[in-house]
């Protein structure tokens, strides 16, 4: 059996009905509870690096914290 890429797997998961997607999401989240502290830290570090690279590759697309906070406050009013 051929191995699916993450993108293919995500695409297939999105075709599920909402109830099945919720069940799958729950199982995936539950599976993360079994990770060690070191594994969790590694995953978060990798995600932070990925997000940083993504922001760097899209110059000018990021927003300053002051702008984000101002928008958030405006939405709460």
User: Is the Cβ–Cβ distance between 19 and 11 less than 8 Å?
Assistant: no
18-44 average pLDDT score: 93
Residue 1 has pLDDT above 70, yes or no: no
12-27 average pLDDT score: 96
Residue 61 has pLDDT above 80, yes or no: no
Rounded CA separation 40/46 (Å): 10
Rounded CA separation 16/18 (Å): 6
Rounded CA separation 66/70 (Å): 6
Predicted TM-score (pTM) of the model is: 0.48
Rounded CA separation 40/42 (Å): 5
- Give percent above pLDDT 90 in the chain: 66
pLDDT band at 16 (very low <50, low <70, confident <90, very high): very high
């Amino acid at each position: 059996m051929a191995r699916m890429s993450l993108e293919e797997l995500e695409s297939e998961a999105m075709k599920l009905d909402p109830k099945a997607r919720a069940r799958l999401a729950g199982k995936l989240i539950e599976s993360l509870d079994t990770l060690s502290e070191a594994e969790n830290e590694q995953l978060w570090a990798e995600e932070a690096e990925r997000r940083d690279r993504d922001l760097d590759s899209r110059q000018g697309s990021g927003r300053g914290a002051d702008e984000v906070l101002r928008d958030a406050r405006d939405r709460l009013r």
